[in-house]
């Protein structure tokens, strides 16, 4: 009896431990249409090494093995493929499933995609769609469908709620007008956002798992918050698609990605850490590395309410961006302004590092060097508080800035916060605040300038206030001409630089590693939301 | 015994209520706005107006107690709410992750026990022998080396050098092998040291000397008396380890792409996805308490001299 009870209890403990073991409540989705494509791909495949098949569970399950299947890693995974919701459109764009009306090119300029052209007359933009543009099920993309997509986006995504304020009209099947009511010069850029990808709203039955889109690939297998497998869209409106398919393995850690690349289980991936980068760079015969400056900016805000002009200027003359970028070993390019220097609106100048001049400025301001090697005035030490959060290398930057400032006689202390937006950005309780954000989300400078320099902007928490800059921002909000917009943007940023309100430290590099023969993985585009497309190739 | 079990189960109710209230309170007090985190997830700045509208949509503008009781009444019906991050039911997400983590934890526990029990018995019987000294050093090392280092080393040896397993294995059987070993190595090291000490202490008891004096065979003494007496202690250690394994496998799950509950909760904490974190706390609380109860009952069954008190 006792033995039975003992056995029962032990078993119950194990069962308890296994509680809830079972199938996923959101199983992997394999679409019927994609299954057909996958089957065709499999039939076309001529070879599939057993070891390779073992290594690719997602590809295996969907039949996306052999042939030209690109295998890559994704650092993030999401539970839904609804193009319009949250940031999921970024990923459907990376997977080659969805497309927007326009795309952003390597030079930050807008190029046609689903739309052939867009012309603005006052507040009305007339958009002509590509004649051939169609969904993967063969249904043509119509003006009415575009309008309904934009209206749905406004409803389900708070960041695009403004689209709900506009008037839309379908002129004919392939032409539509958007009346923004007030001048809105960045509409075309907004329409290039991946969230503006088009879905066949009538044919889609499950927006989360199986949206019908226009991209060169269709979903083959989707594991929510896991691996994603896509296969070629046989009905792609834009012509031939080179790859048979692609697999996106969800891999967060850098070491497994490196080892998977070394073992041949991956063909390419981006967002490479500095340690792996050095390994790839040391073996150019096996790996091709493409590095371009991206749009994710590391910067700091100088608190004008606490630091006078000369102290702020001295700080900016001391902080050595080149040294900080060098420390980050190729993952970051030193920034001049917040935008890429290759963009027309990235043409600003900053003074070179000059520690002697910085010290002279402090002495002019009444500071004297104390016996401990730090500046002081009226018995009070020049003591600065650098606030940062431990992400995007800001912790390393904070330490390097502390060292550089300390070496020049400015005593600093570091304050780390878990959530900058709820703490030092909200309260303004800092001398120097480090932050990282995307400075250019769709090939236009207004978003960043509006977020950091405009009156009442959330990230203008250091007290920057300049009438001339504000007037230029107001003009930027309505100016449609790109050349004039660039001029205005350069003026705004230069004012902020001259006022020593900010320090733009570095732009994260978009670094991609590819096996020889792999190309077209958006390695030359400085945005995070592009990946495979019709021209992506694996030889 | 029956009365005791019922009493213990009833006592879980106030404990779980207190646990849920304080975890809800602590999460509410933690810095960070879930709405802001959600909208700015990709580093794109959003306006205060958009954040405020999202806060209202997510119900974060309601008073603390209103939110807590709404959550509590839902939890009583088995509904732990929906994830802030993606809007999917928390219960489903947690159950998916829990199942995967259980596979990992139980497999590691079984492997650890299979290795550590015979090794610790031999070490205890042949105290201070070469075998004992070697395994004491190995167990010390296994217990000291961090999980992530073991994982990366195993991956390097088995996937890159020997090419036995793929790096990208995921939730398959071959994908289970390396994470189980990674989790089992430190656990085995700990078990060997603890079991060895317990067996040695049993071997030094007077009753063992008495049995040996009566001429009983050494194997009988060892298996029928010493090990039987040590079993209660060993089961307690193993029972408590399940909780550690469940909560401590996050690094392993991330490195080996194992979609378990540890990884889910870490991602949820980063994203301020409080309904998922709150649901995790509740489920883990229940599991800890019930495993504790079952362990106690096994202990009592093995050694009836142990008094049951409320």
CATH number at residue A436: 3.10.105.10
Q: How far is A225 from chain B (nearest CA, A)?
A: 9
pLDDT for res B300: 77
Report chain A's mean pLDDT, rounded to a whole number: 87
| C-alpha span between A256 and A266 (Å, rounded) | 11
Is the Cβ–Cβ distance between A274 and A330 less than 8 Å? yes
pLDDT for res A32: 44
pLDDT for res A286: 94
Supply B24's token pair. Answer: 């809800």
**A375 and A491: one domain?**
yes
| Closest chain B residue to A17, measured at CA | B102
Q: Using the predicted structure, report yes or no on whether residue B272 has a pLDDT greater than 90.
A: no
pLDDT for res B228: 86
If one counts the domains in chain B, the total is 1
Q: How far is A261 from chain B (nearest CA, A)?
A: 9
Residue A73: its H or E element: strand A69-74
Distance of CA B263 to CAs A80, A494, B1, B256, Å?
18, 44, 39, 11
Any domain includes A504: yes
- A196, A217, A252 — which closes off a domain? A196
Any domain includes B241: yes
pTM: 0.80
Angle at B221 between CA B215 and CA B224, to 5 degrees: 135
Mean pLDDT of A14-31: 44
Tally A–B CB contacts below 8 A.
179
**A156 and A11: one domain?**
no
**A63 and A108: one domain?**
no
Residues within 8 A of A (CB atoms), B 232-291 only: 235, 239, 242, 246, 254-257, 259, 287, 290-291
| Closest chain B residue to A27, measured at CA | B96
- The residues that bridge with A128 in the sheet, in sequence order, are A117, A175
| C-alpha span between A509 and A15 (Å, rounded) | 49
User: Strand A175-179 and strand A115-121: pairing?
Assistant: unpaired
Q: Using the predicted structure, report yes or no on whether residue A21 has a pLDDT greater than 50.
A: no
Q: What is the pLDDT of residues B163-218, one digit of tens each?
A: 888 888 776 777 888 999 999 999 999 999 999 999 999 999 898 899 889 888 88
Minimum-distance CB partner of B96 among A25, A161, A528: A25
Any domain includes A433: yes
Q: How far is B220 from chain A (nearest CA, A)?
A: 19
Taking contacts as CB-CB distances below 8 angstroms, the residues of chain B near A17 are 102, 105-106, 109, 242, 246, 287, 291
What do you get for the CA distance between the two ends of chain A, in Å? 69
Is the Cβ–Cβ distance between A26 and B92 less than 8 Å? yes
The pLDDT-based confidence of A19 (bands split at 50, 70, 90) is very low
- Work out the number of other CB atoms within 10 angstroms of the CB of residue A517: 10
Any domain includes A208: yes
Q: Determine the 3-state secondary structure of B303 from DSSP.
A: coil
- The residues that bridge with A383 in the sheet, in sequence order, are A411
Residue in A207, A227, A252, A248 with CA at minimum distance from that of residue A96: A248
Any domain includes B135: yes
Q: What is the pLDDT of residues A173-206, one digit of tens each?
A: 999 999 999 999 999 999 999 999 999 999 999 9
Is the Cβ–Cβ distance between B233 and B199 less than 8 Å? no
Minimum-distance CB partner of B45 among A54, A459, A528: A459
| C-alpha span between A486 and A482 (Å, rounded) | 6
Name the DSSP class of B290: H
A121-130, A214-223, A386-395: which has the minimum mean pLDDT? A386-395
Q: Determine the 3-state secondary structure of A526 from DSSP.
A: coil
Domain of A143? 102-196
- What are the start-end ranges of the H helices in A69-123? 88-94
Taking contacts as CB-CB distances below 8 angstroms, the residues of chain A near B153 are none
| C-alpha span between A148 and A151 (Å, rounded) | 5
Is the Cβ–Cβ distance between A261 and A269 less than 8 Å? yes
Which CATH number do you get for residue B186? 1.10.3720.10
Residues 6 or more apart in contact with residue A440 via CB below 8 angstroms:
A108, A295, A338, A339, A340, A343, A447, A448
A424-438, A467-481, B72-86: which has the minimum mean pLDDT? B72-86
**A326 and A432: one domain?**
yes
User: Strand A432-438 and strand A268-270: pairing?
Assistant: unpaired
**A469 and A431: one domain?**
yes
Q: How far is B78 from chain A (nearest CA, A)?
A: 14
What percent of chain A has a predicted confidence (pLDDT) above 90?
72
Taking contacts as CB-CB distances below 8 angstroms, the residues of chain A near B96 are 24-26
pLDDT for res A24: 43
Any domain includes A70: yes
Supply A340's token pair. Answer: 């890429």
pLDDT: which is higher, A322 or B261: A322
| C-alpha span between A12 and B165 (Å, rounded) | 33
Any domain includes A295: no
| C-alpha span between A418 and A300 (Å, rounded) | 17
Taking contacts as CB-CB distances below 8 angstroms, the residues of chain A near B163 are 51, 263
Residue in A458, A15, A262 with CA at minimum distance from that of residue B50: A458
Q: Using the predicted structure, report yes or no on whether residue A215 has a pLDDT greater than 90.
A: yes
Residue in A314, A299, A343 with CA at minimum distance from that of residue A451: A299
Task: State whether B291 and A10 contact (CB < 8 Å).
Answer: no
- What are the start-end ranges of the H helices in A95-186? 143-156
- Work out the number of other CB atoms within 10 angstroms of the CB of residue B225: 18
Any domain includes B119: yes
Task: State whether B42 and A87 contact (CB < 8 Å).
Answer: yes
pLDDT for res A7: 54
Is the C-alpha dihedral spanning A357, A360, A365, A369 positive or negative?
Answer: positive
| Closest chain B residue to A417, measured at CA | B31
Q: Best residue in A4, A6, A7, A9 to probe B by mutation, most B CBs within 10 Å?
A: A9
The pLDDT-based confidence of A63 (bands split at 50, 70, 90) is very low
| C-alpha span between A185 and A39 (Å, rounded) | 46
Predicted interface score ipTM higher than 0.90 = no
- A196, A214, A233 — which closes off a domain? A196
Residues within 8 A of A (CB atoms), B 96-135 only: 96, 98-99, 102-103, 105-106, 109
Residues within 8 A of A (CB atoms), B 64-83 only: none
Sheet of strand A380-381: strand arrangement: A368-369, A375-377, A380-381
Phi, psi angles (nearest 5°) of residue A62: -95, -5
Q: Using the predicted structure, report yes or no on whether residue A65 has a pLDDT greater than 60.
A: no
Mean pLDDT of A297-310: 95
Q: What is the pLDDT of residues A78-90, one digit of tens each?
A: 889 999 998 999 9
What percent of chain A has a predicted confidence (pLDDT) above 70?
88
Residues 6 or more apart in contact with residue B7 via CB below 8 angstroms:
B310
Taking contacts as CB-CB distances below 8 angstroms, the residues of chain A near B255 are 253, 255-256
User: Where does residue A53 rank: exposed (0-12), middle (13-18), buried (19+ CB within 10 A)?
Assistant: middle
Q: Determine the 3-state secondary structure of A216 from DSSP.
A: coil
Any domain includes A288: no
Q: Using the predicted structure, report yes or no on whether residue A66 has a pLDDT greater than 80.
A: no
Any domain includes A287: no
User: Strand A217-222 and strand A245-250: pairing?
Assistant: unpaired
pLDDT: which is higher, A330 or A259: A259
Q: Best residue in A17, A64, A72, A84 to probe B by mutation, most B CBs within 10 Å?
A: A17
The pLDDT-based confidence of B239 (bands split at 50, 70, 90) is confident
Residue the block writes with tokens 């050349």: A483
**A111 and A164: one domain?**
yes
Minimum-distance CB partner of B48 among A16, A19, A458: A458
Task: State whether A263 and B160 contact (CB < 8 Å).
Answer: yes
Residue the block writes with tokens 């326009």: A102
Task: State whether A25 and B257 contact (CB < 8 Å).
Answer: no
Q: How far is B169 from chain A (nearest CA, A)?
A: 6
pLDDT for res A13: 45
Total count of residues recorded for chain B: 310
Taking contacts as CB-CB distances below 8 angstroms, the residues of chain B near A25 are 89, 92-93, 95-96
Taking contacts as CB-CB distances below 8 angstroms, the residues of chain B near A448 are 45
pLDDT for res B36: 82
Supply A411's token pair. Answer: 């005593």
pLDDT: which is higher, B189 or B7: B189
| C-alpha span between B17 and B15 (Å, rounded) | 5
Is the Cβ–Cβ distance between B308 and B5 less than 8 Å? no
| C-alpha span between A475 and A496 (Å, rounded) | 17
Domain of B197? 93-260+286-302
Mean pLDDT of A23-28: 44
- The residues that bridge with A290 in the sheet, in sequence order, are A512
Which CATH number do you get for residue A50? 3.40.190
**A312 and A177: one domain?**
no
pLDDT for res A55: 40
User: Where does residue B61 rank: exposed (0-12), middle (13-18), buried (19+ CB within 10 A)?
Assistant: exposed
Q: Determine the 3-state secondary structure of B148 from DSSP.
A: helix
Residues within 8 A of A (CB atoms), B 142-201 only: 152, 155-156, 159-160, 163, 166-172, 174-175
If one counts the domains in chain A, the total is 3
Any domain includes B48: no
Q: Using the predicted structure, report yes or no on whether residue A265 has a pLDDT greater than 70.
A: yes
Residues 6 or more apart in contact with residue B74 via CB below 8 angstroms:
B80, B81
Supply A456's token pair. Answer: 């009442």
Minimum-distance CB partner of B47 among A249, A260, A458: A458
CA atoms within 13 A on the CB side of B94: 24
Residue the block writes with tokens 């732990």: B80
**A174 and A212: one domain?**
no
Is the C-alpha dihedral spanning A214, A199, A527, A174 positive or negative?
Answer: positive
**A37 and A129: one domain?**
no
Residue in A508, A300, A530 with CA at minimum distance from that of residue A401: A300
What do you get for the CA distance between the two ends of chain B, in Å? 11
**A251 and A374: one domain?**
no
Task: State whether A86 and B102 contact (CB < 8 Å).
Answer: no
User: Where does residue B95 rank: exposed (0-12), middle (13-18), buried (19+ CB within 10 A)?
Assistant: buried
Residues within 8 A of A (CB atoms), B 83-102 only: 85-86, 88-89, 92-96, 98-99, 102
Q: What is the pLDDT of residues A357-373, one digit of tens each?
A: 999 999 999 999 988 99
The torsion angle over the Cα atoms of residues B237, B242, B246 and B249, rounded to 10 degrees, is 60
The pLDDT-based confidence of A235 (bands split at 50, 70, 90) is very high
| C-alpha span between A64 and A58 (Å, rounded) | 8
Q: What is the pLDDT of residues B80-97, one digit of tens each?
A: 999 888 788 999 889 888
Minimum-distance CB partner of A250 among B38, B96, B257: B257
Supply A255's token pair. Answer: 């070491």
**A215 and A317: one domain?**
no
Taking contacts as CB-CB distances below 8 angstroms, the residues of chain A near B290 are 16
Q: Determine the 3-state secondary structure of A437 from DSSP.
A: strand
**A320 and A179: one domain?**
no
The pLDDT-based confidence of B219 (bands split at 50, 70, 90) is confident
Any domain includes A84: no
Task: State whether A25 and B175 contact (CB < 8 Å).
Answer: no
Determine if residue A280 is left, alpha or beta; phi over 0 gives left, psi from -120 to 50 gives alpha, anything else beta: alpha
Is the Cβ–Cβ distance between A50 and A221 less than 8 Å? no
- What are the start-end ranges of the H helices in chain B? 2-29, 34-39, 48-57, 64-76, 90-125, 130-144, 147-155, 173-203, 206-213, 218-220, 227-248, 250-255, 261-270, 274-302
pLDDT: which is higher, A46 or B192: B192
Task: State whether B290 and A16 contact (CB < 8 Å).
Answer: yes
pLDDT for res A62: 43
Minimum-distance CB partner of B160 among A78, A259, A437: A259
Q: Using the predicted structure, report yes or no on whether residue A57 has a pLDDT greater than 50.
A: no
Residue in A116, A121, A237 with CA at minimum distance from that of residue A175: A116
Residue A468: its H or E element: helix A467-476
């Amino acid at each position: 009896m006792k033995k039975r009870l003992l056995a029962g209890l032990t078993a119950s403990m194990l069962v308890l431990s296994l509680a809830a073991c079972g199938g996923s409540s959101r199983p992997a989705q394999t679409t019927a249409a994609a299954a057909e494509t996958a089957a065709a791909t499999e039939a076309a495949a001529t070879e599939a090494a057993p070891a390779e098949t073992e290594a690719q569970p997602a590809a295996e399950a969907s039949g996306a093995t052999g042939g030209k299947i690109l295998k890559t890693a994704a650092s993030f995974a999401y539970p839904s493929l609804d193009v319009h919701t949250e940031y999921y459109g970024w990923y459907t764009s990376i997977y080659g499933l969805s497309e927007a009306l326009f795309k952003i090119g390597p030079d930050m300029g807008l190029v046609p995609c689903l739309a052939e052209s867009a012309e603005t007359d006052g507040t009305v933009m007339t958009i002509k769609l590509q004649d051939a543009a169609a969904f993967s099920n063969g249904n043509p993309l119509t003006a009415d469908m575009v309008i309904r997509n934009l209206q749905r986006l406004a409803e389900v995504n708070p960041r695009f709620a403004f689209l709900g304020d506009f008037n839309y009209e379908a002129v004919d099947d392939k032409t539509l007008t958007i009346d923004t009511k007030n001048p809105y010069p960045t509409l075309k850029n907004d329409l290039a956002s991946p969230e503006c990808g088009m879905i066949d709203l009538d044919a889609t039955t499950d927006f989360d798992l199986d949206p019908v889109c226009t991209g060169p690939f269709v979903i083959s297998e989707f594991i929510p918050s896991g691996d994603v497998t896509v296969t070629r869209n046989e009905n792609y409106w834009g012509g031939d698609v080179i790859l048979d398919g692609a697999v996106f393995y969800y891999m967060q850690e850098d070491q497994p990605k490196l080892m998977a690349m070394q073992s041949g289980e991956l063909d390419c991936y981006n967002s490479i850490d500095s340690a792996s980068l050095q390994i790839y760079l040391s073996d150019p015969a096996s790996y091709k590395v493409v590095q371009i400056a991206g749009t994710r900016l590391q910067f700091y805000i100088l608190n004008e309410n606490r630091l006078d002009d000369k102290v702020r200027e001295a700080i900016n003359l001391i902080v050595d961006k080149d040294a900080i970028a060098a420390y980050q070993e190729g993952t970051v390019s030193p920034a001049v302004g917040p935008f890429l220097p290759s963009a027309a609106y990235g043409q600003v100048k900053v003074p070179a590092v000059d520690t002697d001049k910085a010290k002279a400025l402090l002495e002019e301001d009444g500071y004297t060097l104390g016996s401990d090697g730090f500046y002081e005035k009226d018995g009070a030490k020049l003591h600065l508080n650098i606030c940062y959060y431990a992400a995007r290398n800001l912790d390393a930057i904070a330490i390097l800035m502390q060292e550089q400032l300390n070496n020049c006689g400015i005593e600093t202390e570091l304050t780390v916060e878990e959530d900058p937006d709820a703490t030092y950005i909200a309260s303004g309780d800092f001398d120097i605040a480090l932050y990282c954000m995307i400075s250019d989300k769709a090939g236009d400078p207004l978003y960043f300038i509006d977020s950091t320099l405009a009156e009442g902007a959330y990230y203008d928490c250091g007290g920057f206030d300049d009438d001339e800059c504000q007037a230029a921002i107001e003009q930027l909000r309505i100016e449609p001409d790109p050349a004039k917009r660039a001029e205005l943007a350069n003026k705004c940023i230069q004012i902020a630089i001259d006022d020593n309100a900010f320090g733009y430290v570095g732009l994260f590099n978009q670094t991609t590693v590819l096996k020889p023969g792999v190309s077209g993985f958006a390695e030359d585009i400085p945005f995070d939301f592009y990946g495979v497309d019709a021209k992506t190739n694996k030889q | 015994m029956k009365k005791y079990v019922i009493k213990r189960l009833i006592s879980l109710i106030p404990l779980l209520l207190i646990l849920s209230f304080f975890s809800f309170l602590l999460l509410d007090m933690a810095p960070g706005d879930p709405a802001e985190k959600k909208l700015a997830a990709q580093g794109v700045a959003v306006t205060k107006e958009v954040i405020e509208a999202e806060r209202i949509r997510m119900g974060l503008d309601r008073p603390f107690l209103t939110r807590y009781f709404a959550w509590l009444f839902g939890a009583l019906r088995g509904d732990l709410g929906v994830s802030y991050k993606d809007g999917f039911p928390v219960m489903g997400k947690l159950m998916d992750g829990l199942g995967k983590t259980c596979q990992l934890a139980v497999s590691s526990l079984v492997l650890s026990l299979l290795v550590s029990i015979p090794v610790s018995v031999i070490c205890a019987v042949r105290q201070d022998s070469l075998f004992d000294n070697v395994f004491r050093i190995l167990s010390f090392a296994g217990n000291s080396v961090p999980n992530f280092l073991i994982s990366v080393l195993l991956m390097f040896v088995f996937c890159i050098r020997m090419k036995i397993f793929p790096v990208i294995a995921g939730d398959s059987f071959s994908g289970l092998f390396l994470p189980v070993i990674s989790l089992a190595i430190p656990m085995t090291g700990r078990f060997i040291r603890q079991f060895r000490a317990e067996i040695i202490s049993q071997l030094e008891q007077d009753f063992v000397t008495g049995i040996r004096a009566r001429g009983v065979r050494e194997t009988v003494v060892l298996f029928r008396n010493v090990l039987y007496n040590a079993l209660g202690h060993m089961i307690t250690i193993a029972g408590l380890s399940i909780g550690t394994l469940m909560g401590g496998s996050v690094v392993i799950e991330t490195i080996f792409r194992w979609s378990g509950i540890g990884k889910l909760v870490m991602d949820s904490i980063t994203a301020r996805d409080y309904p998922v974190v709150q649901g995790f706390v509740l489920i883990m609380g229940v599991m800890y308490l019930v495993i504790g109860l079952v362990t106690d009952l096994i202990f009592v069954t093995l050694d009836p001299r142990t008094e049951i008190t409320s």
